[in-house]
Amino acid sequence: MKKIFMLIALAITFSFIPNLTAAEAVSPAQGKKILFVPLDNRPITDKETRQVAEKLGYDVVVPPEKLLGTREQPGDPDGLWQWLNENASGAKAAVVSTDAMLYGSLVASRNHELTQDTINERVERFRTFHEDHPRLPVYGFGTILRTLLTATHSGNGMEPAIYQQNAVKIRDYSMLRDKAELGLASKKEKRELAKLEQEIVPAAMEDWTHRHGLNYNANKALIDLTGQGVFSFLFLGGDDGALYSQTHYETRHLREYGQNIDKTKLQLTSGADELGMVMLCRAICDDKGDIPFVYTIYNIGKGRETIPAYCNEKIGLDVDNTIIAAGGLQVPAPERAELVMAISTNPDGTTGEANGPANTIQPRKGTMPFVNLVSELVSKGYPTAVADIAYGNGADNALMNELHKKDLQFKLQAYGGWNTATNTTGFLIGTGMLTKWMDKQAREELMLTRYLEEWGYQANVRQKLGAAVWSQPGYNQQTGNLDGAKDFAAKQGTDWLKEFAQQNITLPAGLSLDKLHISHPWNRLFECEIDF
């Protein structure tokens, strides 16, 4: 009887507790458990992705790092499957890289020596997992194998070595075959296609065709499982493609194959590294039973019609599909939106390289119109996020300098400007849609990481550091591996990034860079892990 009275008393007490905001009501200790199997162990695909969900109080549980893929070593699919089953109890959702579960990692998906039977058996494990845990929603994300863009792709250990002397020809062959099937190849291009078929070394062509076939068949099987309800959502991205390429060719055919599956269950788009963030966002939105409203607006010029570098479709189409995948809904006016996404493209539709000499602080044709647009959106109180995609692999210095001068940096809801255009927009959509449940400091901490990494490091420090490490003892000039210069790169990079931040980033109250430190977990300058 005393127990009953105690329960009644507790119920009455809790009924008088005032309503709290989402940020106040949730703490990491109270968070719900989400299983997350990242693409590999890079900071952006692993740590920085789960940090976004952790800001909401979710307990994002990841496998031990020894099971995850690195630059040099594939992950352990068998170990990952065992881990997934052992940790399923009590989870609200599982967000899982199919590349990790089938091949070991993104890099392993390109250079593995697996048989079709092995891959098929691993695909079927998703069905078994669903049968064993029928109430656990599984959000899968995977890649459509990338097309070789240059010969250097096969010379850095990330592609089979047999491609090295044939990379450009294979790339051109895939482009022309794609155009030919679409009926867009000229007579001259058809002759060139036939010529390339004869010139490419047969062993290289056989390996390339076989490898793409394995990946294509696996993705078809994953789509089948989605249609059968095994996945709550499946998000496939074309890795490092182009408008006409093998990646585009396979994406077209996979879309046709899955055309009878509702778009709220299956999406195919461009990209790779951002897919995990998008699916983590989808899992959280589903858990909360919410559909965030998103309004998109583009810079002057080509805008949403832009086809960025490394992308096989117009950025507008990619963004539209990714918002659906993330669990959002586009609205026609900013007044109705919970996230206003301003997307900075070059007016002529070109994509530069952020660490090139053209990326200066001098405003270009589209700089001030976009800055003024962002300023107007912020002044009207709209929760505005900026997708900085005029350059690939880093921020636009002119844009960022103007945002700094107008004191807009931390008046935004979110920011992104890293790697490929779709890496940026996808990660920003996933992050931005979740910020409505975050407090101000959580948003600022996430933005500071992005400013330091995309603007400070990728667009500025990395270029200086590349010149500085060249003559350092232990640096491998042939491969770009830091090796013996790793400590030097971390210390010098940290010093230069601190200096850049002091000059260009106005820190909000509560944030400090006194403990800022960077490192290079993939033994090269391209990836940077930032801790502050």
What is the CATH classification number for the domain harbouring 323? 3.40.50
- Domain for residue 264, yes or no? yes
Query: Are residues 380 and 467 located together in one domain of the fold?
Result: no
Per-residue model confidence as pLDDT tens digits over 483-521:
999 999 999 999 999 999 999 999 999 999 999 999 999
Q: Is the domain of 282 the same as that of 323?
A: no
Question: Residue 157: what pLDDT?
Answer: 63
* C-alpha span between 514 and 188 (Å, rounded): 61
Distance separating alpha carbons of residues 254 and 147, to the nearest angstrom: 16
Mean pLDDT of all residues in 297-311 = 95
Query: In this predicted structure, what is the pLDDT of residue 418?
Result: 87
Q: Look at residue 449 and tell me if it is in a domain.
A: no
The mean of the pLDDT values for the chain is 92
Using a pLDDT cut of 90, give the percent of the chain over it.
86
* Percentage of the chain modeled with pLDDT above 70: 92
Answer yes or no: do 70 and 144 share one domain: yes
Containing structural domain, residue 127: 25-149+212-288
Structure letter (DSSP) for residue 396: -
Residue 396 in any domain: the answer is yes
CATH number for 56: 3.40.50.2300
Count of domains in the chain?
3
Do 269 and 406 lie in one domain? The reply is no
Which pair of structure tokens corresponds to residue 340? 């206003």
Among residues 407, 438, 469, which one ends one of the domains? 438
Query: Which helix H or strand E contains 9, and what residues bound it?
Result: helix 2-15
Residue that the structure tokens 């200066």 belong to: 360
Same domain, yes or no: 252 and 141? yes
Instruction: Please tell me the pTM assigned to this model.
Output: 0.92
> Would you put residue 206 in left (φ > 0), alpha (ψ -120 to 50) or beta?
alpha
Whether pLDDT at 25 is above 70: no
Same domain, 260 and 318: no
Do residues 242 and 120 share a domain? yes
- Residue 479 has phi, psi (to 5 degrees) of -100, -20
**How much is the average pLDDT of 258-271?**
95
Residue 275 sits at the vertex; the CA angle it makes with 526 and 209, to the nearest 5 degrees, is 80
Long-range contacts of 508-514 (CB under 8 A, 24+ apart): 508/410, 508/441, 508/444, 510/441, 510/444, 511/441, 511/444, 511/445, 511/448
Are 348 and 497 within one domain? no
One domain for residues 359 and 234? no
Question: Are both 275 and 339 inside the same structural domain?
Answer: no
Token pair 């006409």 is found at 244
DSSP 82-133: HHHHHH-TT-SEEEEEHHHHHTSSHHHHHH----HHHHHHHHHHHHHHHHHS
> Is residue 445 in some structural domain?
no
Q: Which whole number is the average pLDDT over 278-300?
A: 98
Q: How far is CA 83 from CA 34, 91, 192, 331, in A?
A: 13, 13, 50, 40
> Of the candidates 153, 421, 387, 429, which has an alpha carbon nearest to the alpha carbon of residue 276?
429
Residue 190 within any structural domain of the chain: no
| Domain final residue pick, 288, 320, 346 | 288
Residue 300 has pLDDT above 80, yes or no: yes
Tell how strand 329-330 and strand 266-270 pair up. unpaired
Query: Is a pLDDT exceeding 50 seen at residue 79?
Result: yes
For 237, the 3-state DSSP assignment is strand
**163 within a domain of the structure (yes/no):** no
Which of 30-44, 65-79, 219-233, 478-492 has the lowest average pLDDT? 30-44
- Tell whether 173 is covered by a domain: no
* Out of 68-77, 114-123, 153-162, least confident range: 153-162
Mean pLDDT for the stretch of residues 231-259: 94
Same domain? 301 vs 418:
yes
Q: In terms of DSSP H, where are the helices of 451-506? A: 462-469, 486-504
pLDDT at 26: 38
Task: Reply yes or no on whether the pLDDT at 4 is more than 60.
Answer: no
Contact 106, 99 (CB under 8 A): yes
Return the pLDDT at 436.
Answer: 96
Query: In Å, how far are 58, 83, 101, 215 from 91, measured between CA atoms?
Result: 11, 13, 18, 29
Mode of pairing for the β-strands spanning 517-519 and 93-97 = unpaired
Contact between residue 346 and residue 381 where contact means Cβ atoms under 8 Å apart: no
Classify residue 205: in a domain, yes or no: no
Distance CA 417, CA 498 (A): 19
Residue tagged 């931390």 (tokens): 410
Residue with tokens 């990379």: 167
Give residue-wise pLDDT tens across range 103-113: 999 999 999 99
Strand arrangement of the beta sheet that strand 59-61 belongs to: 59-61, 33-37, 93-97, 138-144, 233-238, 266-270
Residue 161 has pLDDT above 90, yes or no: no
Same domain, 495 and 520: yes
User: Is the pLDDT reported for residue 12 higher than 80?
Assistant: no
167-181 and 187-199 helices, crossing angle to 10°? 140
Q: How far is CA 207 from CA 102, 174, 221, in A?
A: 19, 14, 21
Q: Which of 271, 288, 305 is the last residue of a domain?
A: 288
